[in-house]
Structure 1
Amino acid sequence: MSFDYGALDAALAAAVGDDQSLISELRTAFLESAKRQIDLLGRARCDANWEYAAWRLKGLAASFGAINVLQLADEAAHSAPGDPVILRKLERAITAIESRRD
């Protein structure tokens, strides 16, 4: 599966203009928050905790324009708690965003 993470970069640039320092800071905040929610997904053992973490990740992704992460978080919300396939997809998505750092 191929992802275009330009939406995240475009959303950050639209929000703060050409301030590369602020873009970097916001990108870092997004990645840290996303990793925290993915960790919570990985530790969730009941439907309520799983769905809560998935919805938080979905909201985070929506607010940052990370469309692919949003779609994966939505997929997670409809998956069984602890689903290793969706967890791997989410981890790969975050890794791909991290590797785009300039």
Structure 2
Amino acid sequence: MANIQYYDVILKPVITEKSMNAMAEKKYTFLVHPEANKSMIKEAVERMFEGTKVASVNTMNMDGKKKRRGMVVGKTAKTKKAIVKLTEDSKDIEIFAGL
């Protein structure tokens, strides 16, 4: 496994209607590095966003979608998503505040 630093773990937030509704329960969805495990994700969230405490992390591996370009069939890249649940006394993550 590659040596992944905490700032390389979280790639970008997932902005969907379902993920925005889950924010009311202090659950935040991120696209993460495919080789990151749950403890790496927990450490990255707590270090990148001040005042946050992670209660649990759920991860899911997403297969690439089949795409066609003319007669050539290919697949998009595999991705990994993480749903991070914060504790009740934790601060909210500010990047989602204006959305």
* TM-score by shorter chain over 0.5: no
TM-score between both structures, scaled by the size of structure 1: 0.26
More helix by share: 1
Q: Which has the larger radius of gyration?
A: 2
Q: Normalising to structure 2: TM-score of the pair?
A: 0.26
**Which protein is richer in strand relative to its size?**
2
